[in-house]
Amino acid sequence: MLNNFSVKPILRTDKILKNGNSPIYLQLIINSVKKTITLNENINPKDWDKKNGVAIGKGYSSLNAKISKEKYDLERFCNKADLSGVPLSFTLIDNFLKGIDNNDFYAVFDEVLTMKKTDLSEDTIYKYETLRKRLKGFKPKLFASDIDLNFIKKFDNYLKKLNIGKGGEYNHHKCLKCIINEAVEYKLFNGDNPYKSKKSVKVKSPDHREVFLDEKEVLEILEFRATSSTMKATKYMFLLSCCTGLRYGDLFSLKISDIDWENKIISKTMLKTKHVVDIPINKQIRALLARYIINKKSNDKIFPEISNQVGNRNLKKIAEGCKINKDLNFHVGRHTFASHLVNNKNISLPLISKLLGHRRIANTMIYTNSNVKNLRSVMDVSRYG
């Protein structure tokens, strides 16, 4: 047994009410520390059996039933926590007594996500589901009373060890902060959001000066010899992102039915924005797709199932193999696509914005300053002389 506890009904004879009665309490002892919990009932001391913790005499059947139920419910809660390997605390008990059955944080997480799902895109839902998996990996049994400043800092360290990048860390903290806020608002979570503490982990959006590859580096990845089917699929998914600008979620969900061979376009409803993007199919795109479409039906996904984490881990190995000293992840492919069009093909921002499925052209403008070499050439030709 992890927790040494006992629950016993007692009469507080040290407290005498105006009617001469004394209040009835439950005495909870956790590892030799006592706490008394009022039952909002009282009785004359002469009608109380101290040894058995019950009222004696006629007319007390309802009172004894209430005492028995309150005692049973509290013991059951303590036993449940003990079996789950959770240290009992009076904070945990207080939450239970307030009627907030939030002992299991994953149950709270699921309830909040269910309420939010109708307003979320598939891409955002995927981020929440990924967060839940990461939380499970960090702490399989997680309770609401565990969610404090210390937990947030330890989870942050855990995320850093996963090497998911600043963007991945930011998304996880952002989603967890949102879940806790919603839980507090709907009274599923007792207490304050630890993210609001001045000493908490600072959740900042990654710098918009994104990493992208030049043409030589993309060709090196194309020539890279993958050692496994998963590594090979990662390689071609990434190269397709470089050629189309599709996000990981859109690559993973890409189906045979999204390919219009007659009109030579990929027509994809983006998971994040719900916008439909039409991407022309050139020779490079056709060659990348051809490897994975043989013998597949209309509703089949083109690429095998690879988690974002595994994919990004594979990309880091590919970068090492190609001696590319850049933090490679799937989002780099999207930025490579946009940067190439802006800096090498002089394609207009409105058109690139449409290809990327951006809602606002401001989101596309971050690519206009990504190529220092290109900017230098612009300055050279605009120099007075």
At 150-165, the pLDDT tens digits run: 999 999 999 988 877 7
pLDDT in tens, 276-333: 888 889 998 999 998 899 889 999 999 998 887 788 889 999 999 999 998 888 888 8
pLDDT band at 349 (very low <50, low <70, confident <90, very high): low
Confidence of residue 104 (pLDDT cuts 50, 70, 90): confident
Spatial contact of 168 and 159, defined as CB atoms under 8 Å apart: yes
Tokens of 275: 């916008």
Task: Give the pLDDT confidence score for residue 376 in this predicted structure.
Answer: 43
Which of the following CATH numbers is that of domain 105-196: 1.10.3470, 1.10.540, 2.30.30, 1.10.150?
Answer: 1.10.150
pLDDT at 380 exceeding the cut of 50: no
Question: What is the tens place of the pLDDT at every residue in 197-206?
Answer: 888 888 777 6
15/11 Cα distance (integer angstroms): 9
- Which helix (H) or strand (E) segment holds residue 208: the answer is none
CA-based nearest residue to 67, from 86, 81, 47, 87: 47
Measure the CA–CA gap between 230 and 306, rounded to whole angstroms: 7
- Per-residue pLDDT of 176-188, as tens digits, reads 999 999 888 877 7
User: How far is Cα 327 from Cα 210, in angstroms, rounded to an integer?
Assistant: 10
Query: By the 8 A CB rule, do 244 and 285 touch?
Result: yes
Rg of the chain over all Cα atoms, to the nearest angstrom: 30
Nearest in space to 237 (alpha carbons), one of 164, 325, 311: 311
Considering only residues 104 and 342, tell me which one the structure prediction assigns the higher pLDDT. Answer: 104
Lowest mean pLDDT among 178-182, 204-208, 258-262, 336-340: 204-208
CATH numeric code, 215-381: 1.10.443.10
C-alpha–C-alpha distance, residues 123 and 186, integer Å: 24
**Mean predicted confidence (pLDDT) in 218-224:** 93
Pick from 363, 368, 340: which is nearest to 353 by CA?
363
Domain locations in the chain? 5-97, 105-196, 215-381
Burial 162-189 (b: 16+ CB within 10 A, else e): bebbeebbbbbbbbbbbbbebbeeeebb
Q: What is the pLDDT of residue 344?
A: 67
Give the per-residue pLDDT at 106.
87
**pTM for the full predicted model:** 0.54
Q: Are 277 and 233 in contact, with CB atoms under 8 Å apart?
A: no
Q: Give the count of beta carbons closer than 10 Å to the beta carbon of residue 368.
A: 15
How wide is the angle at C-alpha 73 spanned by C-alphas 27 and 76, nearest 5°? Answer: 95
Is the confidence at residue 339, as pLDDT, over 90? no
**190-195 LR contacts (CB < 8 Å, sep 24+):** 190/94, 190/95, 190/98, 190/100, 190/102, 190/144, 194/147, 194/148, 194/149, 194/151, 194/152, 195/152
341 φ, ψ (degrees, to nearest 5): -65, -40
The 10s digit of each residue's pLDDT in 121-133 is: 777 888 899 999 9
Per the model's pLDDT, the better-predicted residue between 210 and 383 turns out to be: 210
Lowest mean pLDDT among 15-29, 208-222, 359-373: 359-373
| CA nearest neighbour of 311 among 303, 322, 300, 321 | 303
Is residue 132 within 8 A of residue 175, CB to CB? The reply is no
CA 211, CA 325: separation in Å to the nearest integer? 11
Examine the pLDDT at 373 and tell me if it is beyond 90: no
Are 372 and 281 in contact by the 8 Å Cβ rule? The answer is: no
**What is the reported pLDDT for 352?**
67
Q: Is the pLDDT of residue 355 over 80?
A: no
Instruction: Report the percent of the chain where pLDDT is more than 90.
Output: 39
Of residues 345 and 280, more confidence is placed in 280
Q: What is the pLDDT of residues 49-71, one digit of tens each?
A: 999 999 998 899 999 999 999 99
Which amino acid belongs to residue 108?
Answer: V
Helix/strand/coil for 322: coil
β-bridge mates for residue 280, sequence order: 265
Q: What would the mean pLDDT of 228-234 be, rounded to a whole number?
A: 93
Spatial distance between the Cα atoms of 238 and 217, rounded to a whole number of angstroms: 12
Structure tokens at 272: 């994040």
Q: How confident is the model at residue 88 (pLDDT cuts 50, 70, 90)?
A: confident
Inter-residue contact 239 to 213 (CB < 8 Å): no
